[in-house]
Structure 1
Amino acid sequence: MSRTYLNDNWNFSTEYTDAMLQADYDESSMESVRIPHTCKEVPFHYFDEQMYQMVCGYRRNIFAPETWRDKSVVLTFEGVAHSAQIFINGKLVKEHNCGYTACSVEIGDLLRYGQNNQLTVRVNSREDQNIPPFGFVIDYMTFGGIYRDVYLEVREKEYLEDIFVKTLLPPELKSHPEKKAAEHYPAKIVSLIQIHSDDIQDPEKEPLYIRQKLLKKDNEDLALGETEISGNEVEIEEAVSDILLWELDDPCLYELKTELVRSGKVIDTRVDTFGFRKVEFETDGFYLNGNKVKIRGLNRHQSYPYVGYAMPESMQKQDAEILKQELGCNAVRTSHYPQSQYFIERCDEIGLLVFMEIPGWQHIGDENWKRQAIQNVKDMIRQYRNHPSIILWGVRINESGDDDEFYIRTNEAAHELDDSRPTGGVRAHKKSHLFEDVYTYNDFSHDGKAPGCEPKKNITSDRNKPYLISEYNGHMYPTKAFDDEEHRREHALRHARVLDAVAGQNDIAGSFGWCMFDYNTHKDFGSGDRICYHGVLDMFRNPKMAAYVYACEAEDGDTVLELSSSMDIGEHPGCNRGATYIFSNADSVKMYKNDHFIKEYTRKDSPFQNLKHGPILIDDFIGDEIKKSGDFTEKQAEEIKSALNYTAVHGYGHYPAWIIKIALKALLFYHMKPEDAVTLYNSYVGDWGGSSTIYRFEAIKDGRIAKTIVKKPMTAYHMDLTVSSRELLEQRSYDVAEVRIVMRDENGNQLFYFEDPVIAETEGPIEMIGPEIVPVRGGMTGIYVKSLGESGKAALTLRCLGADPVRIEFEVICPDNNEG
């Protein structure tokens, strides 16, 4: 089999007409575009979603060489939003009514060999169609266009149409992923193979054989054997030994090379990537390879600023890396639709568990709508079932009501196509009818005061079935990167409370927070500017404070050390500091004030005891300074210290009885005056009217300082950049690099109220996605640049008033032929 990518050389119009089906159609008014493509670039916010809802047209030539004659030629679109009619030389060959699954069609009989052929696609991105997820309001924008890869596969008439690779591991298996040396296990590979052939049982032809080889990815192969076949479907089971397991921290991948052979000649070859792992949802939680794992994940939309869904491989894979490596998650839910194969491939490679579901949002339509939803279940499972990272199929429309007949059918379809994985179905109501294997529920009960989650017994209709929380927080407490400090702190603490509560419930498999990053939404939702500010990251994937709650749970990555406060008293009402939290995954954190040691905090000091590294409340701003002053006895110093630290967090007035008792003792026995308390507070806690206080925090890991934070008045600022890649490599289409920008002072502290714009200028074969002047929001922003199909040196220069300009150099690499 050979694959040819058709991502370049498209012509596009925002208005489709049937005249586009004509070979001599005048394309001079059409725009030249490359795939992935959005039918309409949009502003960052404050835009009307009608902008991208249209019936648009795409045209492209396909040259069909004579060598393709008498071959099978299959055309595949990985993602067209949302209804597509595909025409070859003016003839309709396929209609596909799902914007989130791939569609393929055989076109060999319609091609004119030795000449160009006209490929035309009519794309309907309107939301008034009778297909999922449409039919009512939706809390996310459903951007349009041909936004995933397009390619041709040329094969013999007889070929391997589909292969589902299942692995069987010993039932008693319990791996030891914590061991440094890899362990080897016995296993079986079961291949369910479908063969495309019209005369497979023709006695006049030599028989067909299946030949298979197993190889550890990027390693030596192992021959499995050869099997004669007599029908279009065959199941092959092979025993293998000494295999390595797919684990979260060591996700070993294998490749199964399958050849279709006749008379010693290889007719077709296919390579499928998979992993050996055992997935089990039990009454008391989730198990991977026999070991209990608490799922800790976030929900992900597939959207980006300006271009909606249309981002290439590098950006899709980066999101998986952010979830695993920056946020410390072990799982992701693809809310509310199947997402890019590139994203899921990266989840396979780095060990990120995936809960994937069909398109939909609350609404269930008529019988035609339901038939399409069931087809979506089938397409999703067929197209993604070899990914070892996927552990659960979502076969219920997100947050929909009960519909027994419909959900019996979706579950039957899922189990028929994949009996190796359980099904789930996300609902927003308790005790609903349950046909899935796992009760998945959106628990929004935490409002800042209520417990982090409800117990399983209050939610499920069958306590013998596993239970998983599929969403929490989100709309309960929208938080912008530029909200005040108290608001951002409460957002982080709400995530910590839910994570802590779930970690403490042994019969809850885990949870998925809402959500990974802010996203564009319709006028019915969000903050009126077409954005839902529900993310722990902003739209450019910059972290908000809540992101550090997740990042702290990863012990093997970079050392995390963040503070919930800028330590500026004027940020707070009444100039009271309020509660200040340390976020760190270090062994301990030492706190200093004006170079005087105050206290060393460890994970045991966190009120979130079910988390490995929960947020730690700073309860001491004084240390032994009062005691060392010599003005008080040791007991007096401790009592005054306690009173002052309480005031630092809670402010003046409304004191509890124990504080009032200390105050009375100070007046009666220590001979202090009321104004002395103010003097003591300003001397040991407050900064009002005196010289500036400098705070330093040191994260200690393995006995060494791993990271330091210094909080002091800023005198200068700069742009701190995170560049996804300085090499733009065009493999199948254009490539994109993201530059995340955070404004920081000279000590590395984020300037949350910085709002001046950043001005971008490009040189060489790259261009900006979106505007060249981008505002800073919450002290951070982002910029995307894309390659233009030409190799060479390129540069991006960023300028911001008051900061030194920054120049980023890129190398753009474009092979001679992207369509190979």
Structure 2
Amino acid sequence: MERTEHYDWNDGWLFTPQFDPSLLEPDCSGLELEPVRLPHTVKSLPFNYCNENDYQMISGYRRVFTAPRSWEGRTLLLTIGAAAHDATVYCNGQRAGHHACGYTAFTVNLTGMVRLGEENVLAIRCDSRETLDIPPFGGQTEELTYGGLYRGVALEVKENAWLRDVFIQAGAEGDFRIYSAAEGETVGCTLEAEIRAPSGRRAVYTGELSLPITGSLNGVQPWSCEHPTLYTLTLRLIRPGTLGLPDRVLDQKVIRFGFRTIQFVAGGLYLNGARVELRGLARFQSYPYQGYAMPDSIQRLDAQALRKELGCNVVRCCCPPSPAFLDACDELGLLAYVEMPGRRHIGGPAWKAQALQNCREMVCQCRNHPSVFLWGVRVAGSADDDAFYKKTNEAARRLDPTRPTAGSRRLKKSHLFEDVYAYDDFSFGGAGPGCQPRAAVTPDLRKGYLISAFGGMMYPTKSFDPGAQRLSQALRCAAVLNDAAAQQGVAGCVGWTMADYNTHPSYGSGDHVSYHGVMDLFRNEKLAAAVFASQKDPRVPSDIVFQVSPAAGFGDMPAGYPGGCWAFTNADAVRMYRGRDFIAEFRPDRQGRFAALAHPPIQIDDFVGVLLEKYEGIGHSEAVQLAGCLNALRRDPAAPSPLLRARLTRLLRTLRMNEATLSRLYHTYIGALGGPAVRYQFDAIWKDRVVRTIVQEPVQRVRLECTVRNAILTDGPTWDCAAIALRAIDQNGCLLPYCSEAVQLTVEGPAQLLGPAVVPLRGGMAGAYLATTGHPGRATLHCRMEGALPTEASVIIRRREA
């Protein structure tokens, strides 16, 4: 039997913000050390107006452990999931290893340094200064980079021969090749590979260490976005028995993978021979207060939000993400474009050598995930560097010949060593084409082309911006998505970004926040999120997405002009009512501005309907004409066109009306600043029935809504965390975007609050995080806000022992 022992070492750490050599000694009682659990951030930061200098330090972590004598003659491997950004590991005062990348895992061999039967001291020096000469540093990074041991740490006790790496290449037809690398005393050892299907069917193959194991499995179910079927590979390192003794399993690795084939050509991305139109968002792995340091459950929530809530089929990972995030992408069918660390800056020879090593580690650590379909082997946004980028492309292709390479850039016609020209197209200014012609950008039309970023800095939008600004962000996203889909040879496009993120003062809005997301920092949706979400094809009523921009709110518009009104939905139609009166039914314009989208935004452009006939006694023909004029005035009351003026003059003469009567009709049926309040109802119609309803009317009551995104937590092998959304809503459940009241938070039970106990609503929204404390039970978050009844949310915490 295999004798590998696995220990999750996320508890029992001591932390100091100032590394001291005495951390390495058996007795460091003179130091002030804080007990912490991993993942850990060196400094918790405020939501905004934070200071990036606060997390730039040389900090220290220490853990004391007793090594049993049963470990004698065995190999001790310590794996650190991520340490931002330069880490040196010491065991009993000896330097055990060093790693200079804050985004990939690394393993240190502690064999020979550990004293068996005694206490041992493990210490880690962690340097998170932005002056380091390693990626992503050297220039001014856009996003904050934080610091600390922000992913888990584990110790594995193995035999004297072990598997260091396993890589399986598996095509959609069922053919596969398994590559492996072993270390230690491997002479005479063999391999056994077992592949298990979701149905439980198993197939076993054997092979030699020096050769890949090849084979073909019949009747496989390929992995795709719609059907993300996962198989399990168990590869065992075996020492054959002698003198009648049975074989011994020295080590084994268990890997989930998918059978699928990727082709990225001039016509776009083909997955298992079928073209996939890519639509997604870029994602940073940071969160309010905690920076990078969030447990697996929170990482998985981001993947779920992208795939299930926003309807994306691709995510751009701006650095190698958490394995838990990619695991969720595998399960959900969310394609991942994974990039090497860095932003714009390319350093000297030592910097490039480290960047190349980062590229290798990224590929080796992520290549068994079927969701990963594209490697980013350029420093995002950087200039051409032919010698350097030839090396990164060669490294990725050598380590993984199954996936194409790309590199996000803002240059047209730059040198292309990759398989895909990934271009950050920020050209759209609100009018004209949503994206540039592919032929004007890429130097090689025979290769694939992807718009790897759009939007973002071109129109940053806060959740508390005026309604017109929030609507404009949504329509801009729709325009780019539409025009990318309409242009032949464009594989798709990725919006910038999924969520707002903390940034350096030279970026963002002056408060250390880039408001580029379609969600806020807490992952609350802005209106633009509905553009992405509404592109999902509904199968059941709960799949219907429905958001309507404000129809009234004249005082929110310049000079009290009403402004446009749009519905973002994947329903078949929208019915609108004014009070109890039916106005009109609106359907997507399949020939209009957004015709290339599966579910175009629907313009609500009739606020009169038949009301002139019903209440004013105007004949049908004239009522239709006059209603058209009133609706046209609503869209642009400040400067009616000469044609509209001429039509109105004729109508007023025919109807024997004067300007005062026209003004009364406008104020009555269109509305104006200071006019009577109107109740609008919008019904989403799907398969000839109402499935969603939105009512917009004056606020009569304010409620505080508290929603837990993951209500069941597991404490162990590390702390877990619940993400909680807070929203101020009216009596109809509509968001109140200008509510900025403070919410007081208190916790009852075995959990603690991350961040402040009083949070202001921004755009009517906020969030909170509840972290477990090592004990099971029920924890409740109590929320109080002035002007609303108290509310609460509970989570169940289970304890899993190591």
Q: Give TM-score, length-normalised by structure 1.
A: 0.95
Q: 2:524 aligns with which of 542, 545, 548?
A: 542
Secondary structure of the corresponding residue to residue 781 of structure 1: strand
The aligned residue for residue 244 of structure 1 is 221
Cα drift, residue 137 of structure 1 = 0.5
Cα drift, residue 462 of structure 1 = 0.8
Given the alignment of the two structures, is residue 761 of structure 1 paired with residue 753 of structure 2, yes or no?
Answer: no
Cα drift, residue 689 of structure 1 = 5.3
Q: 1:141 aligns with which of 126, 139, 144?
A: 144
The aligned residue for residue 203 of structure 2 is 223
Whether the 8 Å CA contact 2:69–2:117 is kept in 1: the answer is yes
The aligned residue for residue 133 of structure 2 is 130
The aligned residue for residue 346 of structure 1 is 328
Q: 2:545 aligns with which of 560, 566, 584?
A: 560
Cα drift, residue 794 of structure 1 = 1.8
Q: Distance in 1 between matches of 2:395 and 2:48?
A: 40
The aligned residue for residue 182 of structure 1 is none
Q: Distance in 1 between matches of 2:618 and 2:201?
A: 77
The aligned residue for residue 235 of structure 1 is 212
Q: Distance in 2 between matches of 1:682 and 1:386?
A: 63
Cα drift, residue 628 of structure 1 = 3.0
Secondary structure of the corresponding residue to residue 388 of structure 1: coil
Higher mean alpha-carbon deviation, 263-272 vs 513-522, is at: 263-272
Q: Which runs of 5 or more residues in structure 1 are unaligned?
A: 170-185, 201-206
Secondary structure of the corresponding residue to residue 408 of structure 2: strand
Cα drift, residue 603 of structure 1 = 2.2
Q: Distance in 1 between matches of 2:99 and 2:578?
A: 64
Q: 1:594 aligns with which of 579, 588, 591?
A: 579
The aligned residue for residue 183 of structure 1 is none
Higher mean alpha-carbon deviation, 801-810 vs 760-769, is at: 801-810
Q: 1:328 aligns with which of 283, 286, 311?
A: 311
Given the alignment of the two structures, is residue 777 of structure 1 paired with residue 765 of structure 2, yes or no?
Answer: no
Q: Distance in 2 between matches of 1:136 and 1:225?
A: 50
Given the alignment of the two structures, is residue 150 of structure 1 paired with residue 134 of structure 2, yes or no?
Answer: no
Higher mean alpha-carbon deviation, 140-149 vs 681-690, is at: 681-690
The aligned residue for residue 289 of structure 1 is 272
Amino acid aligned to 1:640: L
Cα drift, residue 666 of structure 1 = 2.6
Given the alignment of the two structures, is residue 208 of structure 1 paired with residue 189 of structure 2, yes or no?
Answer: yes
Q: Distance in 1 between matches of 2:69 and 2:175?
A: 43
Given the alignment of the two structures, is residue 611 of structure 1 paired with residue 597 of structure 2, yes or no?
Answer: yes
Amino acid aligned to 1:220: G
**Cα 1:235–1:692 shift into 2, 3 Å:** same
Cα drift, residue 436 of structure 1 = 0.5
Residues 416-456 of structure 1, C-alpha deviations (whole Å, 9 max, x = no match): 10000010011111000010111111001001123100111
Amino acid aligned to 1:257: T
The aligned residue for residue 414 of structure 2 is 432
Q: 2:711 aligns with which of 726, 742, 762?
A: 726
Amino acid aligned to 1:295: L
Secondary structure of the corresponding residue to residue 95 of structure 2: strand
**Cα 1:27–1:345 shift into 2, 3 Å:** farther
Cα drift, residue 2 of structure 1 = 2.6
Q: Distance in 2 between matches of 1:591 and 1:17?
A: 68
Amino acid aligned to 1:435: F
Amino acid aligned to 2:498: M
Secondary structure of the corresponding residue to residue 550 of structure 1: helix
Q: Which runs of 4+ in 1 moved over 6 A?
A: none
Whether the 8 Å CA contact 2:52–2:144 is kept in 1: the answer is yes
Q: Distance in 2 between matches of 1:618 and 1:79?
A: 50
Whether the 8 Å CA contact 2:461–2:516 is kept in 1: the answer is yes
Q: How does 1:148-227 map to 2 (within 5 A)?
A: 148-169=151-172, 186-198=173-185, 200=187, 207-217=188-198, 219-227=199-207
Q: Distance in 2 between matches of 1:68 and 1:387?
A: 33
The aligned residue for residue 725 of structure 2 is 740
Residues 147-181 of structure 1, C-alpha deviations (whole Å, 9 max, x = no match): 00100111111122211000134xxxxxxxxxxxx
Cα drift, residue 464 of structure 1 = 0.8
Q: Distance in 2 between matches of 1:266 and 1:372?
A: 36
The aligned residue for residue 641 of structure 1 is 627
Secondary structure of the corresponding residue to residue 428 of structure 2: coil
The aligned residue for residue 409 of structure 1 is 391
Cα drift, residue 371 of structure 1 = 0.2
Secondary structure of the corresponding residue to residue 405 of structure 1: helix
Amino acid aligned to 2:529: A
Cα drift, residue 497 of structure 1 = 0.6
Secondary structure of the corresponding residue to residue 99 of structure 1: coil
Cα drift, residue 199 of structure 1 = 5.1
Given the alignment of the two structures, is residue 309 of structure 1 paired with residue 289 of structure 2, yes or no?
Answer: no
Residues 685-716 of structure 1, C-alpha deviations (whole Å, 9 max, x = no match): 11555542111111111222111001111110
**Cα 1:431–1:688 shift into 2, 3 Å:** closer
Q: Distance in 2 between matches of 1:566 and 1:308?
A: 38
Whether the 8 Å CA contact 1:69–1:108 is kept in 2: the answer is no
Secondary structure of the corresponding residue to residue 406 of structure 1: helix
The aligned residue for residue 663 of structure 2 is 678
Q: 1:572 aligns with which of 557, 568, 571?
A: 557
Q: Distance in 1 between matches of 2:737 and 2:653?
A: 46
The aligned residue for residue 3 of structure 1 is 6
**Cα 1:152–1:572 shift into 2, 3 Å:** same
Whether the 8 Å CA contact 2:206–2:213 is kept in 1: the answer is no
Q: How does 1:90-101 map to 2 (within 5 A)?
A: 90-101=93-104
Cα drift, residue 241 of structure 1 = 0.3
The aligned residue for residue 681 of structure 2 is 696
Q: Distance in 2 between matches of 1:405 and 1:794?
A: 56
Cα drift, residue 223 of structure 1 = 2.5
Q: Distance in 1 between matches of 2:533 and 2:30?
A: 51
Amino acid aligned to 1:260: L
Amino acid aligned to 1:29: E
Secondary structure of the corresponding residue to residue 252 of structure 1: coil
Secondary structure of the corresponding residue to residue 109 of structure 1: coil
Amino acid aligned to 2:627: K
Given the alignment of the two structures, is residue 624 of structure 1 paired with residue 588 of structure 2, yes or no?
Answer: no
Cα drift, residue 215 of structure 1 = 0.8
Q: 1:445 aligns with which of 427, 431, 445?
A: 427
Cα drift, residue 807 of structure 1 = 2.1
Q: Distance in 1 between matches of 2:708 and 2:383?
A: 44
Higher mean alpha-carbon deviation, 549-558 vs 785-794, is at: 549-558
Cα drift, residue 662 of structure 1 = 1.5
Secondary structure of the corresponding residue to residue 477 of structure 2: helix
Whether the 8 Å CA contact 2:406–2:419 is kept in 1: the answer is yes
Cα drift, residue 268 of structure 1 = 1.5
**Cα 1:587–1:56 shift into 2, 3 Å:** same
Residues 511-540 of structure 1, C-alpha deviations (whole Å, 9 max, x = no match): 110000110001111111100110000000
**Cα 1:704–1:209 shift into 2, 3 Å:** same
Given the alignment of the two structures, is residue 469 of structure 1 paired with residue 472 of structure 2, yes or no?
Answer: no
The aligned residue for residue 790 of structure 1 is 775
The aligned residue for residue 472 of structure 2 is 490
Whether the 8 Å CA contact 2:586–2:603 is kept in 1: the answer is no
The aligned residue for residue 244 of structure 2 is none
Residues 459-497 of structure 1, C-alpha deviations (whole Å, 9 max, x = no match): 001111110011111111111111111111111111111
Whether the 8 Å CA contact 2:268–2:448 is kept in 1: the answer is yes
Q: Which runs of 5 or more residues in structure 2 are unaligned?
A: 242-246
Amino acid aligned to 1:800: M
Q: Give TM-score, length-normalised by structure 2.
A: 0.97
Given the alignment of the two structures, is residue 261 of structure 1 paired with residue 261 of structure 2, yes or no?
Answer: no
Q: Distance in 2 between matches of 1:360 and 1:592?
A: 52
Secondary structure of the corresponding residue to residue 797 of structure 2: strand
Amino acid aligned to 1:197: G
Residues 773-804 of structure 1, C-alpha deviations (whole Å, 9 max, x = no match): 00000100001110000122221100001111
Higher mean alpha-carbon deviation, 554-563 vs 101-110, is at: 554-563
Q: Distance in 2 between matches of 1:251 and 1:704?
A: 32
**Cα 1:27–1:386 shift into 2, 3 Å:** farther
Whether the 8 Å CA contact 2:579–2:678 is kept in 1: the answer is yes
Q: Distance in 2 between matches of 1:350 and 1:47?
A: 35
**Percentage of matched positions with identical amino acids:** 40
